Chains A and B, each alone.
Chain A
Amino acid sequence: MECKSSNSRTYNQILNQFGTHYIANSSLEHKAAQRLTMYEFMEYILKSFYTSTGWNENNSYENIIATSQGDGTINGSLAYLYTSTPLKHVLGTKEISLQDAIQGYRVIRPPLYHTYNNGFIPFQPHSLYYGRMYFPGSALEAMVVKRISESSQLLVKCVSHENLKNNGTMTFYYQVDTGRLSSEYIFSTNEALLGFRCLYNFRQGAERLNTALYNNSSLSIGAEVWYGALNMSPGLSAALRYSTQSTYTGKPLTMTLACNPILGHISSTYSVRTSASSTFSSRYDFNIYSYDSDLSFGCELWNSSNHDLTKLPLKHIDPKLPPHSKHSPQDQTVIEAFENLVKETDFSSVVKIATTLNDRNLKLKWEGRFRDFLVSTGVDIGLDSNSIPSSVGIQKCGLQLQYSS
């Protein structure tokens, strides 16, 4: 059975919830790197590698590996991949379920205190080698993942391109992940950048008891520190995340609060999965020095080809009961039933919409499966008729096709 537990480990997780991640990072521009909402094939392979080796994968991989549309041209690349462990459950685009291929709302469950893989997979040092060459232009990227111990892993990524300084960049990530605290040490040769990220999960009261009360909420705090030694550029941010699942309906929600003390920037998000096929989230930014503020909204709507979704399980509670007895062993079933519903439903496509109040444009994206291809198309529509030049109408659009077998 695949052990694809979705425990959150790294700091990136906090801000990688659909709300902030999607809104903050997914831009449907041609030229800018399209921060992922559809996994590239490489990332999918990588995820499989992680599950095969028992590494708790939910880290920021999907985000570091950028998918870019190219400047409206068709780009090609050739890749080489070697792993020392057989990858399990790698499916082609025909059979892959859309939930696995498309990044969406990630449910954060509180980490169980004991070993996360429950001893199913004994530890063995595994490694993965990957290289890719792009055709127009001569860029080469390579990656090596080496599992050093049960709780640590080393990742090396490098890029070679003639426009870069020194013709290339190499970045090292050393990740340590115990159950409670996960930290990451980063060094990049571009400007000699040093970085440190960590994420700490608070212990829940119920977890200590680990008894009948199934409390699915978790509180985590994380931070990142950066320092570019050559150009003396510092960076610092900290974030707090609270994530829980409703015990009545099983629907998960997440709230985060992040700040950047150097710039005086504060950001807060709220995202909730309102049904098995829709998610909504909002984000509010504020800068205490420049009083800039921004409000963003996003939503995700999944469609399924069979229109008879099983009815969501709902638990009914007698409000007259005292608080402690409102929880029951039924909670767990409700939550799990919802999660199963989400996992098992055969979705055919998803529509994502995002908008911000500052930019006054609407971003739409459609992802789905079309005749064995995974298709992702997006468009950026301007709504501001007061700006100079007036920007009403479609500003940018993009298309991405993916096939594997």
Chain B
Amino acid sequence: MSCNISWDSFEEGSFLAWSKELLYDALNSGKRPHILSSEIKIKELTFGKQSPSFEILEIGDLANDRFRGIFKLKYDGDANITLNTNIQANLLNIYERNSQEISQASSFALPNFKLASQPFSLPLNVTLSNIKLSGIIVVVFSKSKGLTLVFKNDPLENIKVSSTFDNVPVIERFLQKQIENQIRDLFRDILPSVLHKVSQKWTTNNIISQLHSKINEQNNDQLKNERISIFEINPSEPELSPTNMLKLSTLNTSRQSFRLSIPPLQDVIERPMLFKFEQKSKSSFGDNFAINTKNIPIELLINKSTNNDDYQINSTLTTISKIQSKYYSNEKNNNKLKRRSIKMNKKSKKSSSTTATNSVSMNTEDTLVEENSQSQHEITKDESSVKEIPSTPMENLYEKDPTHGFQYIEIPSAINLTNPILKRPPLTPVNTQTDSNSFPSSYPRSHSPRKSQSYLLNVGIGMNNYGFLDAPPPPYHY
């Protein structure tokens, strides 16, 4: 009787990478001996094309919870591994370091070497190949005690050790002998004990005790503190999510084009456009408004003496509210956003009547268009207006232009609560802006799923500077 092993699955990338990592950690754990002057790196690891052959020679005991059998293992394939490290060639340097590290006093009796103990490290590559195994294994498995595996004979028939020191026959023979002995010890002692330990995790008795200990733990800790990685549950899960990769690849390929104009990214301004943007915003705001502030301009909200008071305060407040709404909505809250209205500068009653209609709470995009058609109000400059923080998740930006008075400018919705990110509906271009000086002007948008859908003013909260404006869409899109 024999078994078929699909050896090709071992050659798969993720398993190979995982085993390389495991080997790297195992080789470099613990204190590095002085003879090595750098870490041991796995240069190459292949499992070969041929799988080892297992043959069942005898089954001694077979029951629900235990098993005992004798197998014959044969391997004659082309697996190989190459390790790379640096070794210290100056023995006097090793001697010196050994004496120094023991204690403070141990270097008291150490002579003071000068240049004779200069460190000198040589790179070393060791390759193990032509591995031939042939052995008889006795396997005993019981649910209570775990797996025990013993080699009845020494399985290693042949192994070829080649290194960068092959020119020196003394070292070559030394390395060959040492590594052969080590591999023999591995099969005889280390492998059985490691397998035994690992198998004990999966045996019943241990499972119950593990469960008990976990319950006790959770009485002390909170469940939330335990993090489980997907890898533990489903090791075959790919490390990277396909949807993320798709998004990234579309992002990447969108830039690989000879087209002069490229679809803009959300909330990002391109470096070539930055200069234009700054110029434009400077000209519309005037010099009083600092474009590049990253903080909320508290002074504007407190002082009432500056000239462009109303406009700046309005724009500041609306931006803040817009950003807050965006954060709120990004968490996919379907509740209505309720806002407190704070009235400032109650000076005229005329304005209060107008603002009453302005502050309608809106939750949907549909009503956006209607509101705009009604909302052409003009307030002269002399009257100070009641400023209100707009109480809508869909931001209305109204701007007081010194010459034209209040105007509503429709901003396309920043957040699309219903559709997934990649599939936003085309935006309805509504342009009410006539004056080229006012800011921001809305551009008619083409139908591109990745179009940025928000305008943000130049008031930043936190680390992000929200003073961005989208690049105009390419003209031939219309």
Contact = CB atoms under 8 A, between A and B. Distances in A.
Interface in A56-80: 60, 63-66, 68, 70, 75
B100 A228 contact: no
Nearest to B120: A263
From B89, B114, B122, residue with most partner A Cβ within 10 Å: B114
Nearest to A231: B91
Contacts of B107: 33, 66, 68
B108 interface: yes
Given A139-B104, A163-B102, A233-B95, A263 B112 contact: no
B109 A188 contact: yes
Interface in B102-144: 102-118, 120, 122
Contact of A228 (B92, B110, B120): B92
Given A12-B114, A237-B114, A65 B108 contact: yes
Interface stretch (A190-198, A313-321, A395-403): A190-198
B85 interface: no
Interface residues of B, number: 28
Nearest to A25: B112
B90 interface: yes
B148 interface: no
Interface in B204-239: none
Contacts of A258: 114-115
A287 B114 contact: no
A239 interface: yes
Contact of A161 (B89, B103, B118): B103
Given A235-B116, A260-B116, A193 B109 contact: no
Contacts of B104: 33, 66, 68, 70, 75, 134, 137, 139
Nearest to B121: A290
B99 interface: yes
Given A235-B117, A265-B120, A64 B110 contact: yes
Interface in A145-176: 157-159, 161, 163-164, 169-171, 173
Given A233-B91, A234-B92, A260-B118, A226 B109 contact: no
Contacts of B114: 11-12, 15, 224, 237, 239, 258
Residue picked from A70, A164, A289, most chain B C-beta under 10 Å: A164
Interface string A294-314: 000000000000000000000
Nearest to B105: A139
A191 to B, nearest CB: 6
A233 B92 contact: yes
Contacts of B89: 263
A186 B109 contact: no
B367 to A, nearest CB: 54
Contacts of A164: 102, 106
B90, B100, B108, most chain A CB atoms within 10 A: B108
A180 to B, nearest CB: 21
Contacts of B109: 141, 157-159, 169-171, 188, 190
B114 to A, nearest CB: 5
Nearest to B92: A235
Contacts of A233: 91-92, 94-95
B105 A267 contact: no
Interface in A18-40: 31-33
Contacts of B111: 64, 171, 173, 186, 188, 193, 195, 226
A134 B103 CA distance: 10
A96 interface: no
A235 B120 contact: no
A60 B112 CA distance: 8
B112 A63 contact: yes
A364 interface: no
A5 to B, nearest CB: 22
A140 interface: yes
B99 A190 contact: yes
B95 A32 contact: no
Contacts of B108: 64-66, 141, 157, 159
Contact of B105 (A161, A173, A193, A234): A161
Contacts of B99: 169, 190
B435 to A, nearest CB: 50
Contacts of B122: 290
B118 to A, nearest CB: 5
Contacts of A235: 90-92, 113, 116-117
Interface string A208-231: 000000000000000010101001
A226 B106 contact: no
18 contacts: A11-B114, A32-B100, A63-B112, A64-B110, A139-B103, A163-B106, A171-B111, A173-B111, A188-B109, A195-B111, A226-B111, A228-B92, A233-B95, A234-B92, A235-B117, A260-B115, A262-B90, A263-B118
Given A139-B103, A161-B106, A233-B91, 11 more contacts: A33-B107, A132-B105, A137-B104, A140-B105, A159-B109, A163-B106, A169-B99, A169-B110, A190-B95, A239-B114, A263-B89
3 closest Cβ pairs, A-B complex = A233-B91, A235-B116, A139-B105
Interface of A: 11-12, 15, 31-33, 60, 63-66, 68, 70, 75, 132, 134, 137, 139-141, 157-159, 161, 163-164, 169-171, 173, 186, 188, 190-191, 193, 195, 224, 226, 228, 231-237, 239, 258-260, 262-263, 265, 267, 287, 289-290
